[in-house]
A and B are shown apart, each in its own frame.
Chain A
């Protein structure tokens, strides 16, 4: 298996633009997590899914953030409109058993100018 695949690896955009981050979890994994990492706040859980169903989105900072998982092999995290303070590394992770042995993707480095 190629592991958790995220795209793009880097995204540079201007304030106000829509940003869509993509994730393909490991085949067979039932849980998918979106994290945001910054120097100041560390690893923050934004939202997670079990069997494609969103379980807890309390970590999503604002209504500008939304996430979907239309099927077991694909998820998106969308920011609309983006702001400079959204600049961070966004990681997607998946696991076979919810919360245990997370496998992280390579992350998306987002810069909002």
Chain B
């Protein structure tokens, strides 16, 4: 069945460094890949998304890249700040009338 693998499950970086989270998906027909950020005790919130006809998208310090051939996409956070500490979820929308499939999440800790 449709599957999204996300790694690492935990990631610690020093403030100011970059963080990269990677996801792979199983269905080559997938066409929509969002990323959600969930702060402790809060709801998941969409932070950036990309469609399959685009290879990269940036929004200030965050960027997402997509490699359709390899069926993986990544979230890049530059110049990390303590407020970036959260759990990040990738997701993929598979073909057909199916909802988003989420990865298991990455707990990012930015150490000041």
Q: Which residues of A come within 8 Å of B, CB atoms?
A: 31, 33, 42-43, 45, 48, 50, 55-56, 91, 98-107
Please determine whether B46 and A91 come into contact, CB atoms closer than 8 angstroms.
Answer: no
CB pair A99 B98 closer than 8 Å: yes
How distant is the Cα of A43 from the Cα of B43 in the complex, in angstroms? Answer: 11
Which residues from A are CB-within-8-Å of B73? none
B32, A99: Cβ atoms under 8 Å? Answer: yes
A55 touches B97 (CB 8 A): yes
Q: Are A42 and B105 in contact (CB under 8 A)?
A: yes
Instruction: Say yes or no: A104-B44 contact (C-beta < 8 A), given A42-B104, A42-B105, A99-B32.
Output: yes
Q: Tell me the minimal C-beta distance from B4 to chain A in angstroms.
A: 10
Q: How far is the CA of A50 from the CA of B42 in the complex (A)?
A: 26
A-B contacts counted at CB < 8 A amount to 48
- State which of B34, B43, B99, B103 has its C-beta within 8 Å of the C-beta of A104: B43
What CA separation (Å) do A56 and B2 show in the bound complex?
A: 15
Structural contact, A100 and B93, CB atoms closer than 8 A: yes
Measured between C-beta atoms, what is the minimum distance from B94 to chain A in Å? Answer: 9
B-chain residues with CB within 8 Å of residue A99 when the two chains form the complex? 32, 93, 98-100
How many Å from the CB of A99 to the closest CB on chain B?
5
